[in-house]
Amino acid sequence: MGRATVLVVDDERKIREVVCSYLEREGYAVLQADTGQRALEAVQRGAPDLVVLDLMLSDLSGEEVARSIRSVSRVPIIILTAKADPNDRVAGLKLGADDYVVKPFSPRELVARVEAVLRRADGGASGRELLSFAGGCLTIDREQREVCVDGRQVELTRSEFDLLVALTLAPGRVYSRYELITRVQGYDYDGYERTVDAHVKNLRKKLADDPRDPRFVTTVTGVGYKLTASLDA
């Protein structure tokens, strides 16, 4: 397997630095996130090969982040937490985690678990992942950045594609305009957040999605937008 990318999500800077240092020493490319929101953005933009995820984050809970990731991706997740109770371990695994490491931990052991989980994932790989919604009416290939509606490929701009993928991280969840514009433009974006309305309008036009009777993207008045279509099993 080539140089894998690992996303390390923890709000404690020292822990992130130690984990990243050990992973980089073993040849991994490393992404970092100190909040749940930044973790979801990193998954959207960076397509990591594995996520090391702390459950105790300052904004979203690690459980919510894991559920959002798992709703759109099979990327392996290793949960990193101070919760040592066996019931917590079971709950974490039920979220779709592939392994569970309790703090305090040995960085060398964590790296060994990363290697083991990646080997299992690589052995079970079966081609690139294609997300399907609404009974196949909407399909998204995140790797190739391709979108099809009713079997017809549609050409989206980078912003439109990133906006659509952001909504797919948690189908049915309402995202504010601020959340969406920061995921599309980045956290240092200081422009007008209503810009997202223009992106949604263009996205709907390309998806042939009637805002009065939406199949895919619904407006939630006074708040923002959500993905109406559900992920196919």
CATH topology classification for 5-123: Rossmann fold (3.40.50)
Least confident of 82-86, 123-127, 214-218, 228-232: 123-127
Higher pLDDT, 136 or 170: 136
Residue ranges in the chain assigned as alpha helix (H): 13-25, 36-46, 62-72, 86-94, 107-123, 158-168, 177-185, 195-207
| Buried/exposed code over 121-140 (b: 16+ C-beta within 10 A; e: otherwise) | beeeeeeeeebebbeebbbb
pLDDT at 84: 63
Residue type, 91: A
Closest CA to 178 of 154, 196, 161, 162: 196
What are the residue ranges spanned by the domains of the chain?
Answer: 5-123, 131-227
Please name the residues in contact with 72: beta carbons below 8 A apart, sequence gap of 6 or more: 131, 165, 168, 169, 231
Highest mean pLDDT among 56-60, 140-144, 216-220, 229-233: 216-220
The 131-133 sheet, strands edge to edge = 131-133, 138-141, 146-149, 152-154
- CATH of 131-227 among 3.20.20.10, 1.10.10.10, 3.40.50.10540, 2.70.70.10: 1.10.10.10
Higher pLDDT, 45 or 31: 31
Length of the chain: 233
C-alpha span between 25 and 226 (Å, rounded): 41
Residue with tokens 């459950």: 55
Beta strands 138-141 and 131-133 are antiparallel
Q: What's this model's pTM, rounded to 2 decimal places?
A: 0.60
* Cβ atoms of residues 134 and 229 within 8 Å: yes
* Mean pLDDT score across all residues of the chain: 84
Closest CA to 8 of 96, 78, 89: 78
Q: Residue 123's pLDDT band (boundaries 50, 70, 90)?
A: low
pLDDT at 90: 67
Please name the residues in contact with 110: beta carbons below 8 A apart, sequence gap of 6 or more: 19, 22, 52, 78, 80, 101
Instruction: Give the tens place of pLDDT for each residue, 150-179.
Output: 999 999 998 899 889 888 877 888 888 887
